[in-house]
Amino acid sequence: MGYLQNKRVFISGVCGTIGKELLSELTSNENYRPVEVIGIDHNESELFFLERAYVDDERVRLFLGDIRDPHKLQMQTQHTDVIFHTAALKHVSLCETSPTDAVQSNILGVQNLINAAQANGVDTVIFTSSDKAVNPTNVMGTSKLMGERLITAANNTQRGGGPVFASTRFGNVLGSRGSVIPVFRNQIANGGPVTLTHPEMTRFIMSIRQAADLVLNSAGLARGGEVFVTKMPVLCIQHLAEVMIEELAPKYGHNPSGIEVREIGIRPGEKLYEELMSSEETRRTMELEDYFAVLPAFRGYYKDVNYDYPGVISQAINEPYVSSMDDTMTHAEIKQFLELHTLLDVEGASQEGPVKQFWPGDEKRAE
């Protein structure tokens, strides 16, 4: 935590779920105490309201900007110490139908930020990736994998000094915009049906706060070129739906037994399970207390990196980190997780957002 004290921090995608949480933590947690936090986003309306929320905090500077604009990034990252890159296109279906945009934001945008960081002598750059980057089956995951590779290459090919580049790899962030939590909530509020893609689908999960902590802690741990993976629990999506129906239906005036769970099938590009670490990566992974650190396949050409992390548990990992290979949370554990992170609260919960889940053009799912 002390690593960020008196530093100038830059956040791309500051209006997104993770970017906004990073801003909140950096400005409210006394352990961080940055001297300045600069945020950019291309969502004008969200940026306007976020600016109003921090109008009394003189450390916060928010600007309109897009990671596709290299000149904007060069200007806004001047005199910056740490960059947290959270801006991205993250929805699988939209990336699948607009792959060019995914390339421009999730690949070229990463390279734009790398160039800006190197030009301005930034100390540390942390890129936020996804479990979908492991053995990707869709455009979004493929673009995130390329982002990871660009970050690692930037660290391993630079001569002399320069920024420390590293990545973090998320599981599913429950409660984030576009996640299954608000979808299920709205479906239950409307009396059902709750739509389930497949009853055996499993996912790694983490809260918004846990995701932000992963990013912030990685800045102090990073040695260069590695990918940090948080140890996290696994749940079955059907069990999540059952717990949410049991807990939320009465709050919305419905009988839980009257809420139908309807299977709609796996969407194109979607996996039945998720992977956070592949079999190939295990041979170059170190286990820490709260994380796995996947080291680069190719080490630096011009400098040696000493991966001397504190609290190393093991330097030999034998099994890939796959959701189908781990025990899933019980109903009681899911309920406890949702309560701990206030994901079952009805008061103040937004009723905006999708009620139906379907693949664009698939009339059957749209009905």
Give the tens place of pLDDT for each residue, 75-111: 999 999 999 999 999 988 899 999 999 999 999 999 9
Classify each residue of 316-329 as buried b or exposed e, where b means 16 or more C-beta atoms within 10 Å of its C-beta. ebeebbbbeebebb
Mean pLDDT of 201-224: 91
Residues 6+ apart with CB under 8 A from 138: 92, 95, 96, 132, 268, 269, 270
Cα 248 from Cα 253, distance rounded (Å): 9
Residues 6+ apart with CB under 8 A from 188: 194, 244, 245, 248, 249, 252, 254, 259
Tokens at 314, concatenated? 């093991």
CA proximity to 235, closest of 182, 320, 172: 172
Evaluate if residue 325 carries a pLDDT over 70. Answer: yes
Q: Which of 91-105, 145-159, 185-199, 296-310 has the lowest mean pLDDT?
A: 296-310
What proportion of the chain, given as a percentage, has pLDDT over 70?
93
Residue 170 bridge partners (DSSP): 130
Residues 6+ apart with CB under 8 A from 97: 360
Domain count of the fold of the chain: 1
The residue ranking higher by pLDDT, 311 or 356, is 311
Residue 102 bridge partners (DSSP): none
Secondary element (H or E) of residue 62: strand 60-64
User: Could you tell me if 54 and 60 are in contact, meaning their C-beta atoms sit under 8 angstroms apart?
Assistant: yes
User: Could you tell me if 166 and 227 are in contact, meaning their C-beta atoms sit under 8 angstroms apart?
Assistant: yes
Cα 79 from Cα 250, distance rounded (Å): 53
Question: What range defines the domain where residue 289 resides?
Answer: 2-366
Q: Which of 31-45, 113-127, 262-276 has the lowest mean pLDDT?
A: 262-276
CATH number, position 310 = 3.40.50.720
Report whether the peptide linkage leading into residue 193 is cis, meaning its omega lies within 30 degrees of zero: yes
The sign of the CA dihedral 196, 200, 206, 211 is negative
Cα 192 from Cα 188, distance rounded (Å): 5
- Active-site option among 20, 132, 144, 271: 132
User: Could you tell me if 271 and 237 are in contact, meaning their C-beta atoms sit under 8 angstroms apart?
Assistant: no
Rg (CA), the chain: 21
- C-alpha 299, offset from chain centre: 26
- Which pLDDT value is given to residue 220? 92
Cα 227 from Cα 165, distance rounded (Å): 10
Catalytic residue flag (residue 303): no
Cα 21 from Cα 195, distance rounded (Å): 29
Torsions phi, psi for 175 (to 5 deg):
95, -10
